[in-house]
Amino acid sequence: AQTVTQSQPEMSVQEAETVTLSCTYDTSESDYYLFWYKQPPSRQMILVIRQEAYKQQNATENRFSVNFQKAAKSFSLKISDSQLGDAAMYFCAYRSAETGGTSYGKLTFGQGTILTVHP
Amino acid sequence: DSGVTQTPKHLITATGQRVTLRCSPRSGDLSVYWYQQSLDQGLQFLIQYYNGEERAKGNILERFSAQQFPDLHSELNLSSLELGDSALYFCASSVAGYTDTQYFGPGTRLTVL
SS3 of A81-112: the string is CCCHHHCEEEEEEEEECCCCCCCCCCEEECCC
Q: How confident is the model at residue B98 (pLDDT cuts 50, 70, 90)?
A: low
CB contact under 8 A, A45 and B92: yes
Which tens digit of pLDDT belongs to each residue from B24-38? 999 999 999 999 999
A60-86: average pLDDT? 97
Nearest to A47 among B98, B99, B103 (CB): B103
Instruction: Say if CB A59 and CB A48 are below 8 A apart.
Output: no
> What is the helix, strand, coil percentage profile of chain B, to 5?
5, 55, 45
Q: Quote the CA–CA distance of A106 and B112 in Å, as a whole number.
A: 26
Q: Quote the CA–CA distance of A83 and A119 in Å, as a whole number.
A: 8
Nearest to B56 among A42, A47, A103 (CB): A103
pLDDT at A102 over 90: no
Which tens digit of pLDDT belongs to each residue from B46-87? 999 999 999 888 889 999 999 999 999 999 999 999 999 999
Q: Quote the CA–CA distance of A35 and A57 in Å, as a whole number.
A: 15
Sort out which chain B residues have CB atoms less than 8 A from A37's CB and list them: 104
pLDDT of residue A104: 67
A81-89: average pLDDT? 97
Q: Quote the CA–CA distance of A91 and A45 in Å, as a whole number.
A: 9
pLDDT at B40 over 70: yes
Nearest-neighbour CA in chain B from A90: distance (Å): 12
Of A64, A53, A61, A44, residue with least CA distance to A2? A53
In total, chain B counts a number of residues equal to: 113
pLDDT of residue B2: 86
Nearest-neighbour CA in chain A from B45: distance (Å): 6
pLDDT at B5 over 60: yes
Question: Lowest mean pLDDT: which of A2-16, A73-87, A95-109?
Answer: A95-109
B64 backbone dihedrals φ, ψ, rounded to 5°: -105, 145
pLDDT of residue A31: 87
% of chain A exceeding 70 in pLDDT: 95
Q: How confident is the model at residue A70 (pLDDT cuts 50, 70, 90)?
A: very high
Query: For residue B89, what are the CA distances in angstroms to A11, A97, A112, B10, B57?
Result: 26, 25, 17, 10, 15
Instruction: Say if CB B74 and CB B93 are below 8 A apart.
Output: no
Q: Give the distance, in angstroms, between the CA of residue A51 and the centroid of all CA atoms in the same chain.
A: 9
Q: How confident is the model at residue B101 (pLDDT cuts 50, 70, 90)?
A: confident
Q: What is the 3-state secondary structure (H, E, C) of B65-99?
A: EEEECCCCCEEEEECCCCHHHCEEEEEEEECCCCC
Mutate to test the interface with B, among A44, A45, A50, A51 (most CBs of B within 10 A): A45
pLDDT higher at B96 or B44: B44
Nearest-neighbour CA in chain B from A43: distance (Å): 7
